[in-house]
Amino acid sequence: MTRALDHLVIAPIVLPLVAAALMLLLDERRRSVRTALSLASTFGLLAIAIALMAMADASAPGAGVSRTYPLGNWPAPFGIVLVLDRLSAMMVALTAVLGCAALTFSLARWDRAGPYFHALFQLLLMGLNGAFLTGDLFNLFVFFELLLAASYGLLLHGTGLARVRAGLQYIAVNLAASSLFLIGVSLIYGVTGTLNMADLAQRIAAVPGDNRMLLEAGAAILGIAFLVKAGMWPLGFWLPTAYAAAAPPVASVFAIMTKVGVYVVLRLSLLLFGDEAGASAHFGGTWILFGGLMTMIYGLVGILAAQDMPRMTGYAVLVSSGTVLAAIGIGGVSVTGGMLYYLASSTLALAAFFLLIELVERGRAAGADMLAVTMEAFGDGTEDESEHEEEVGVATPATLTILGLSFFACALLIAGLPPLSGFIGKFVLLTAMLNPAGLVQTATAAAPGAAVPMPSAEVWAFLAVIIVSGLATIIAMTRAGIRTFWAPIERSVPRVLAVELAPVAVLLMLCVAMTIEAAPVMRYMQATAQSLYTTSDDNSARGILPPLEKATEARP
């Protein structure tokens, strides 16, 4: 039983890979088999993710790492390890939830808008899970490329002019960023001679002075590669266009893609440049803070200026990722805890909103005829589907009511107004910044209360921007809501299938559950933050590396 549990760590990578490989073998006609396979894999992933989260949560509150998995059973600094801790378990679970919702939504019709949707979708999930679980820098690059390759395919899913145009720029930007990633990784390897993250964390303090500059340059270049993915201000101009052009279920999964960048920044900045990194401690923190603030400002201007809802949501993604980045820049256990709660809540809300937009806009002409064009371009086999679909959708005012309510909930969540979880996330963030020691009573030993500045200028700036961005979001959302639900006199009620409403409802219900069960969720987040701050200690590194002496001896 314990052996099986050991292998559970790699299951989130292997399961989608096997599913995708099987799907490629199947004929394009055998749609039902593919769909079944895809559903089984994604929901299986959800079950695995929940089990992993329980496993991670069962570990001691101070311990950084709960489980490691040496690939091919090679010992740690030489082989590649997968590392499970609370943060990676949480991110894998978030991915699985979004995956289930988007996949269910796509079954209504989007999966038929182009070939290989299910296989690409599974590969994207695999790349995401791998990026969250890996404990090795170069392996991280490989998983990044995997998820990016799948995302290129998914972004173009359904084709059409807007998608190809956005996809071209998206691919060019990401290829350039991947080059930066490689330069950063190889610089770090050149200086320290290791790619294992835990090993790196131990060696960084010992890097001699003249090499330190090279190391920091490497880390900064690496950081830029991730910040491109996270959409930080001068690097994120590609994001709203690409997200607005993507098919709704794809955009909904993409909501977590910016969080991959944010996740890696959080992980590496705390692991490599934590308190024990010697002269390099807290390297880049100020840049991330101000970059995050600028991202939020850019995002909120964009939200106000955006003409259509998909673009507006693209900018809301930027605001969300800017908030998280700025919180990383400020640092401290309780701020990080609040930030993680906000991250989970805003990712769910944005994913739900991307799905919802398509349903709401279906009553209007623009979205509908674009879909018709892509269906036509893709050719035969789709005509009967569209007929079929028109029979099933039920045109009742009740649909509009549900859509309206969901829209309202999304607006509250994204803007961060009470009573839903968006508010709690922002509230905890703000409280933690103003009073770093207030929320975590138990964390007297580990909370670097002294490291967090008492309300300084940056904190006030962040506070102001958070509140203004909430205001901007609510203005834009209200405007969009009025335009969609109240203004049209002759409005055809969108035909919506239950299978399309259900994922939106489930995502929103999860946010509601996060609100009601805020205490246990927040406890998990705070424990996560706590473990991130102790990760730079030897104790967790030892969980990843074999007993230290042995590792150093074996190294030539």
Contacting positions for other proteins (CB under 8 A) = 138, 141-142, 145, 149, 152-153, 156, 159, 161, 164-165, 167-169, 171-172, 175-176, 178-179, 182-183, 185-187, 189-190, 195, 556
375-402 burial code (b ≥16 CB/10 A, e <16)? beeeeeebeeeeeeeeeebeeeeebbeb
- Encoded tokens for 146: 């995997």
In whole angstroms, the minimum distance from the beta carbon of 168 to other proteins comes to: 5
What is the closest distance, in whole angstroms, from the C-beta atom of residue 71 to other proteins in the complex? 14
CB of 10 or CB of 183, closer to other proteins: 183
> In the bound complex, what is the minimum distance in angstroms from residue 114's beta carbon to other proteins?
12
Q: Closest CB to other proteins among 108 and 155?
A: 155
> Using an 8 Å Cβ cutoff, are 532 and 88 in contact?
no
Residue 66, token pair as written in the block: 């709960």
- Which of 214, 417 has the CB closer to other proteins? 214
Rounded Cα gap, residues 86 and 527, in angstroms: 8
Q: How would you write 391-410 as a 3-class SS string?
A: HHCECCHHHHHHHHHHHHHH
**Which candidate, 122, 132, 119, 127, places its Cα nearest to that of 99?**
122
Q: Are 430 and 464 in contact (CB under 8 A)?
A: no
CB of 185 to other proteins, least distance (A): 8
Neighbours of 302 (CB within 10 A): 22
**Smallest distance, other proteins to C-beta of residue 466, A:** 34
Determine the length of the chain.
Answer: 556
Helix-helix angle 421-434:309-330, to 10 degrees: 30
CB of 158 to other proteins, least distance (A): 12
- What's the CA gap between 373 and 369, in Å, rounded? 6
Nearest distance, CB of residue 156 and other proteins, angstroms: 7
Residue with smaller CB distance to other proteins, 75 or 438: 75
Tokens of 463: 């506070």
* Residue among 194 and 345 whose Cβ is closer to other proteins: 194
- Cβ closest to other proteins, residue 128 vs residue 221: 221
Placement of tokens 């700025």 in the chain: 326
Find out whether 97 and 510 touch, Cβ atoms under 8 Å.
yes
Beta carbon of residue 437, minimum distance to other proteins (angstroms, whole number): 43
Using alpha carbons only, give the angle 124, 262, 68 rounded to the nearest 5 degrees: 70
CA angle 363, 158, 112 (to 5 degrees): 85
Min dist CB 5 to other proteins, Å, is 30
Place of tokens 């960023």: 177
> Which residue, among 337, 185, 338, 192, has the nearest Cα to 277 in the 3D structure?
192
Task: Supply the minimum distance, in Å, between the C-beta of residue 136 and other proteins.
Answer: 11
The nearest distance, CB 171 to other proteins, in angstroms, is 5
CB of 542 to other proteins, least distance (A): 23
Q: How many CA atoms lie within 13 A of 253 on its CB side?
A: 34
170's tokens: 């998206």
CB atoms within 10 A of CB 468: 13
Give the integer Cα–Cα distance in Å for 337 and 447.
11
CA distances in angstroms from 221 to 179, 180, 184, 213, 382, listed in the order given: 10, 6, 5, 12, 46
Q: Measured from the CB atom, is 83 or 177 closer to other proteins?
A: 177
Alpha-carbon distances, residue 284 vs 197, 290, 555 (angstroms): 18, 10, 31
| Cα–chain center distance at 43 | 18
DSSP label at 444?
Answer: T
Distance in Å, CB of 302 to other proteins, minimum: 19
Q: How far is CA 90 from CA 246, 320, 537, 542, in A?
A: 26, 18, 22, 22
